[in-house]
Amino acid sequence: MVRMDDCLFCRIARREIPAKIVYEDDSSLAFEDIQPQSPVHLLVIPRRHLVSLREMKPEDESEIGHLFAVAAGLARERALENNGYRAVVNSGTWGGQTVFHLHVHLLGGRVFHWPPG
Ligand code: 5GP
Ligand code: ZN
């Protein structure tokens, strides 16, 4: 289990590790993915250390919902709305999660296919 002290995204939120932060508010922040998979690839995270959707509790609902509102706002700001974009949460190993601090990927600027593979 990764402790909050060691968690990469907690450390980015505390500004102990540099990242291109593009948005922040009281409960969330967004920054550029270090290995972008599309012209726009942002990660929206809660400031609080939530591990993944699997551990989600009823009291986390508004905080996690807010991440999607932030992602939608950033998509609007970056003119992704007309063509569309993808907002996804990889949850657990088989879901493709590699950093165990919950995050919404906001991907845009190219066509995405389904199923994602
Ligand atoms: P996951 O695979 O957990 O859904 O997504 C983790 C994402 O974090 C990946 O897209 C990966 O490129 C990104 N990432 C990993 N390490 C860093 C880092 O140190 N800085 C930033 N900005 N992104 C990172
Ligand atoms: Zn964390």
In the DSSP assignment, the letter for residue 55 is G
How many other C-beta atoms can be found within 10 angstroms of the C-beta atom of residue 25?
A: 10
Selecting among 101, 103, 105, 113, the annotated active-site residue is 103
Which ligand is closest in space to the CA of residue 14? 2
Q: Is the CB of 31 under 6 A from ligand 1?
A: yes
Query: What is the b/e burial string over 78-102, where b = at least 16 CB atoms within 10 angstroms of the residue's CB?
Result: bebeeeebbbebbbeeeeebeebbb
Concerning whether 103 is annotated as a catalytic residue, the answer is: yes
User: Given the structure tokens 């906001």, which residue do they identify?
Assistant: 106
- Alpha-carbon distance of 55 to 29, in angstroms, equals 20
pTM, to two decimals: 0.97
The pLDDT, as a whole number, for residue 1 is 67
Domain boundaries, the chain: 4-108
Q: With a cut of 90, say whether residue 97 has pLDDT above it.
A: yes
Which fold does the domain 4-108 belong to in CATH?
HIT family, subunit A (3.30.428)
Averaged pLDDT score across all residues of the chain: 96
What are the tens digits of pLDDT across the range 25-66? Answer: 999 999 999 999 999 999 999 999 999 999 999 999 999 999
